[in-house]
Structure 1
Amino acid sequence: MDGKIRAQKTWGSSPTGSTSAKGSAPGTKDFFERALKYRSKHEMPWLPDVIPFQEMRGKRVLEIGFGPGYDALSFMQAGATYSGIDITPENLERTRKHLALFGFEPEVRQGDAEALPFDDASFDVAYSNGVLHHVPSIEQAFSEVHRVLEPGGDFYVLVYNKNSLFYRITLAIWYQIIHGYRHKETLQEQLSRIEFNEADERPIVNVYSKRELRALLQQTGFKVSSIKVRKLTWEDLPAVWFVHRFFKYIPRSLLHFLGKAVGWYLIAHARK
């Protein structure tokens, strides 16, 4: 099945936040508030430190893959002129409903990251959080972002880190010991299982090193300002029998410190 169709089915059935807001329907106040609280307090409390939302007032911002609208809210609260595209049609109505709770009407449309439906030099800022590692060609997506940005425009992109503890230890070693030999699956096939969804789909999932991400951005015309590493939670650690239950007691400050070296996300800031 086409990777883009698999993406639509994956996040159409189970938008980001589904595991932290179980029992709540996407598009409702309860779903959004519960998922946003988990995201901002546990999963990504570091996000405002690496993405300057507070500097977006008056800027034309494009978000690629807005999901249920968590970061769209941050941009609009900061005063950005916000536009968003998402390949999953269900996410349009979900985001409109979620942001309406805060008095916002986001400009969102269905769209493909590899063929952005905007004119050249339409935006001051482009942003994508945990999306472009799922597209068939990240090079094409980066080229499209470069095209729609103004000269000097900023691009902030978050993708999965190949040199993270989660990938190198939890997936490459532990998952292979427990699942790989039993199911006769490759590491790449195991990787496609990590995205929870009720449609039982196996979306494209890619991982990148800092060097690879920098090279991809430079090849598509960007100047890379920084690449940071973040996101280590106790759920990212190997589920080692009874020991795993004690991981939740590891101080969050220690996980945050370690996450700057072996976290699951690379956060790149590049300029056109």
Structure 2
Amino acid sequence: MKPEELARLATRALIYEVSVNPKPGLVDPVSSGPHPDMSVFTFIDSSLSLQPYLTICAQAGDGWIGTLPELFASLRRAGITAEREMFAATNGVNTHKGAVFSLGILVAAVAFVQKHRDTSVQGVVQGMLAGLCEHDFDGISDLPESELTAGERLYVEHGLTGVRGEAEAGYPSVFDVGLPKLLTASGTLNERLLDTLLAILTHFIDTNLIHRAGTLDVLPKAQAQAQAILDVGGAHTAAGKALLAQMNDDFLAQNLSLGGSADILILTIFMALVEGDI
């Protein structure tokens, strides 16, 4: 698959994710959820603005001859420019900052594996990001709290590594949870993707959710709600739809967001498109 085609699939994954509805705590075509400064159109504009960057990531992985950590370093530099393009397209709204990081990594890894078939996508990601958490979190406990990002604050206070830890481990929430659930879920593609999002939430430590709530207690409660929907048959059943509607109402009332889980869903959709599973 050519780099340009990989970039198109990655862009499709971004648009597919925002199209899935109704998603608790997230923007979709029906609702902006707890994000009044965003709409589905904001996300479409953002997605299209990132396609040139995703092409760069695919081209980098396709032609890379250096070490894998050096490949990641090159993606980080390209990602800085991509973030500026995203903010320009959305009038300063942060729609896809997490996806710039994670989707760029995965696109490059897939492109690399297509040329070096003696390895796996997960293996390449792990090789690219070895030591990431140790590097990125080194010394942050000595910084004033006012200088810490939300993710850094959660690391200092609770030891949560967030998306960095997920990435360094090779995105197990994608390969061990998201993709298997997508393959076995029932109903329309929209309903299957909803069930996939819920399955991801039951296993993934969504630091965006924790940050919004201001407490770790929110995670097991949200995971229990997601599991209850899956236990009654998922989003394609009447019982599942009713519980999902209640979860939507609860998240909106509490101003909660599943931004981290949404990024994992994007990665899952991308891999499913690459593998021809959707």
| TM-score between both structures, scaled by the size of structure 2 | 0.30
| TM-score between both structures, scaled by the size of structure 1 | 0.30
Larger relative strand fraction: 1
Larger RCO: Structure 1 or Structure 2 (Cα < 8 Å, ≥ 6 residues apart)? 2
